[in-house]
Structure 1
Amino acid sequence: MSTAAVAVLLIASMLAVGTAAGIDDFGALARRPGLVLVAVAANVIVLPGLAVALVTAVDLGPEVTLGLVLAAAAPGGGTGALLTLHARGDLAVSAALQVLLAPLGLVSVPAWAAVAGHGVIPAGGAGLLLVGGGLLGQVVPLAVGMTLRRYRPRWAQRVHRMARRAADVLLAAVVLYFLVTGVGRLPQVGWPGVAVITVLVVVSVTPVGLSRLGSVSQRRAVAMTTGVRNLTLALFFAAAASPTVVLAVLAYGLIMYGICVPVAWALARTKPVPAV
């Protein structure tokens, strides 16, 4: 149930992003290759590497360790762009990063799981087809939304309103689901595991305060995109492992939204910042 809800939320979020970000908006990102390199490195190297180091140092159980590494190594969560919208960040930066990070996640998740001592590649072609479907679930609605915005701007405005409302409702439902199903089971993950997740999420949103990274709106986009992991991808690999691994991913999602959503809402209360 959680995987299906996150998948639908992913599609609605990317459609909302696509109808708000034009193709021309990506020009500013192309002129900031340093920003792209730092953001990609933070998502596929720094955060997963930190996760492996922390779970090794804390010596969590093997299943909890795998769940936390899967979540930390899965970049490009669709709700990162949705939270960028709320945080008044640079939507073009967030959308472009998700386009880059979605395919990279198909490599980084199994690679970092292997570093942590676990093999998670599903046997047969069915697993690859499902992961590929998750990739299409991001790219296709984004492309459809951007096409509408370019050629049918009035339709795009209507679709954007509906998609964003749907995404907001789904986001609230997913957060509530994580609260209802996850809070009482956090002790099963262990308080050291909860502490590790908290550290990872806090570190992931620190780009918002790094002035040398770019403009305020760009930093907000990088922070929200990095903070929100691709739980659909992480849950897919976790489901092939064990229920405890799934529980660890859900615990990561609970704490992730518990931190990232208030941060986005707090940023939304500040004055609008123009993208550069």
Structure 2
Amino acid sequence: MDSAIATIALPAALAVIMLGLGLSLTVADFVRLAALPGTVALVLGCQILLLPLFALGLVLLFQPPPALAVGMMLLAASPGGTTASLYSYLFRGNVALNISLTALNSVTAMVSLPLITNLSIAHFMGDGDTLGLQADKVLQVFAIILVPVAAGMLVRARAASFARRMERPVKAASVLVLFGVIAVAVFQERADLVDYLVAVGPMVLLFNVAGLVVGYWAPRAIGTGRPEAIASCMEIGLHNTTLSLAIALSPALLDSTEMAIPSAVYGVLMFFTAAATGILLNRRGVRQDARAAGG
């Protein structure tokens, strides 16, 4: 994937999107998270432990080349991305929960991501070299998430009526910006896209779908509400491929195009699987609300 897309265009687009998300949030949204300790612990547990174990099972089942196996584990270890907040916003999830979980998981990734990646390199490639997740990468994640959201929330607090009027157009613009970036990425990778899909497509698709399914139904199983379960679904099902691509492609870190392939393929597929999942969940919610109203 073109490094300009991976490290500049997509983060910039998502930062604009996060500004729009901030317009819909208030401080009270975050205060209410104190009532969801079980959901927060469950989501973080799935992201840090369950998904890497599931990815390892897929790698052992599909037996990809060593570099692709490491790339798959790098993807699994990456935290949830800002795209999860956008999809949660589009499909009526608890966006404040997404943002808080992304921030928390970004902190834990400082330890878990290098650990899982280094163990994968040692196991699949017999290479003892270590990977360090540099502090500036973590700061980039926080900057993309927190700064524009805080700006949007400030506008909401100072000019609530203006923020409410802007929600719908910003929502529409967010979709256009997001799919514009995807279109550019797909166009630039068109020559290799088929090869990438053949190499890791089935494995990546199973991993993505499993994350979305577990992300929704695990919280629902412990009694979590629908908006929070949708937020969890997107948070667990959509990883920060910008971060994993940057680590794989950076000359200072892994410097491997092959290790970036799983994240590149996932970065395209997840937009469509997440959209389909969101539509299905919303339709299910409408049917449940209709039955409840009729009953």
The two structures have a TM-score, normalised by structure 1, of 0.86
Distance (Å, rounded) in 1 between the aligned partners of 2:52 and 2:241:
14
Distance (Å, rounded) in 1 between the aligned partners of 2:288 and 2:174:
23
Q: Is the 8 A contact 1:42 1:226 kept in 2?
A: yes
Which has the greater radius of gyration?
2
C-alpha deviation, 1:141, in angstroms? 1.2
Question: Which residue in 2 is equivalent to 1:2?
Answer: 5
Distance (Å, rounded) in 2 between the aligned partners of 1:157 and 1:238:
40
Question: Which residue in 2 is equivalent to 1:212?
Answer: 221
Does 2:41 match 1:32? no
Distance (Å, rounded) in 2 between the aligned partners of 1:271 and 1:91:
19
Q: Is the 8 A contact 1:121 1:237 kept in 2?
A: no
Question: Which residue in 2 is equivalent to 1:62?
Answer: 66
Q: Is the 8 A contact 1:94 1:221 kept in 2?
A: yes
Does 2:105 match 1:91? no
Question: Which residue in 1 is equivalent to 2:150?
Answer: 143
Output the amino acid matched with 1:120. Answer: L
- Structure 1 residues 102 and 158 mapped into 2: Cα distance closer, same or farther (>3 Å)? farther
Distance (Å, rounded) in 2 between the aligned partners of 1:150 and 1:105:
32
Question: Which residue in 1 is equivalent to 2:256?
Answer: 242
Question: Which residue, 264, 273, 276 being the options, matches 2:278?
Answer: 264
- Structure 1 residues 90 and 273 mapped into 2: Cα distance closer, same or farther (>3 Å)? farther
Q: Is the 8 A contact 2:103 2:142 kept in 1?
A: no
Question: Which residue, 218, 230, 241 being the options, matches 1:231?
Answer: 241
Q: 1:209-255 CA deviation, whole Å, 9 max, x = no partner? A: 34324011111110011111111211110112222222331111122
List runs of 5+ in structure 2 lacking aligned partners. Answer: 123-129, 290-295
Distance (Å, rounded) in 2 between the aligned partners of 1:160 and 1:80:
18
Tell me, what secondary structure is at the counterpart of 1:116?
helix
Output the amino acid matched with 1:42. Answer: C
Distance (Å, rounded) in 1 between the aligned partners of 2:105 and 2:287:
27
C-alpha deviation, 1:100, in angstroms? 1.6
C-alpha deviation, 1:65, in angstroms? 1.6
How many correspondences in the alignment? 270
Distance (Å, rounded) in 2 between the aligned partners of 1:233 and 1:273:
37
Output the amino acid matched with 1:196. Answer: M
Q: Is the 8 A contact 1:81 1:225 kept in 2?
A: yes
- Structure 1 residues 108 and 183 mapped into 2: Cα distance closer, same or farther (>3 Å)? farther
Question: Which residue, 204, 207, 214 being the options, matches 1:200?
Answer: 207
Distance (Å, rounded) in 2 between the aligned partners of 1:185 and 1:243:
12
